[in-house]
Each structure stands twice: as C-alpha cells, then as structure tokens.
C-alpha cells in the first residue's frame, strides 16, 4: 500500500467524509471527466530529501486535495471536513509513514463550466523505512 492508498482508506473509514463524497468519487491524480459531483482528486508529491540514514529516508511531501462541486457551499463543506480529518494526522503504509501532515492553504475558483473547485494544500514529512 502506498501513501495515497492510506489517505483514501482513511476517507473510506470516515463517516463524515464518505457521507459527503463516497470513496469511489475520490481519484488519485486528475478526477475523471464524467465523474458525478462532488468529486475529489488527490495528489501526493515527494519534494526534497531532508535526512537520509542507512535505515530511513525522510523527505518533504505535499498533499493536494482538489474538490469539484456544483456550488461554492458544497465545495467549502467538503473542504472543511478534509481539513478537520487530515490536519495534524499521521498515516502509515507499512514501509512509509506520513508525519506531521498540516494544512497550509485553500484556493477557490469558479471554472469555465460554472462548477466550483476548492484546492487544499497540506505539507508534511514522510519517512520511508529501507529496512522493511
């Protein structure tokens, strides 16, 4: 299991999140164009390495959630629950662990096809264990 899957599993196990957006409408990478709204895309990007030892690699990560919704209020309510559920949380995959995930910023926009998008950006550290 990778870090994206661990974040999706948390979504699936959260009544608050899955009641607003079922996990089958949470996509890794870009959302599917035909997806029913609201839907969410998830991107986890590894950034620079912070520390490397013989057993561990610690690097910065950026987690971006992008919500597509019919109304601003719908996008905002999903975004608020994402902030509550993921801010200052730890997620483990067995060989990789995201530590100190924290909310950085929120960006809202209205698209050309009159939908709302809310983009939530989180930052954190991840530890990859080379010994497992």
All structural domains of the chain with their residue ranges: 3-129
| Whole-prediction pTM | 0.85
Helix residue ranges, H only, the chain: 3-13, 15-20, 72-86
Length of the chain equals 132
**What pLDDT does residue 132 have?**
47
Tokens of 1: 């299991």
For the chain, the straight-line distance linking the first and the last C-alpha, in angstroms and rounded, comes to: 13
At residue 92, the pLDDT reads 74
Amino acid 97: pLDDT: 67
Homologous superfamily of the 3-129 domain (CATH): Phage tail protein-like (3.30.2000.10)
Cβ distance 109 to 91 under 8 Å? no
10-residue averages of pLDDT along the chain (132 residues)? 82 94 90 82 84 80 93 94 91 70 89 86 84 52
Q: Are 114 and 59 in contact (CB under 8 A)?
A: no
């Amino acid at each position: 299991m990778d870090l994206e899957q661990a974040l999706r599993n948390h979504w699936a196990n959260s009544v608050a999140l899955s009641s607003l957006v079922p996990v089958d409408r949470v996509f890794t990478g870009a959302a599917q164009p035909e997806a029913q709204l609201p839907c969410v895309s998830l991107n986890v990007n590894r950034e620079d390495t912070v520390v490397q030892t013989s057993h561990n690699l610690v690097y910065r990560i950026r987690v971006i959630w992008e919500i597509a919704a019919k109304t601003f209020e719908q996008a905002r309510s999903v975004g608020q629950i994402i902030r509550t559920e993921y801010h200052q949380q730890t997620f483990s995959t067995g060989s990789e662990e995201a530590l100190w995930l924290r909310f950085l910023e929120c960006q809202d926009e209205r698209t050309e096809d009159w939908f709302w998008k809310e983009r939530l950006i989180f930052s954190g550290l991840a530890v990859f264990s080379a010994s497992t």
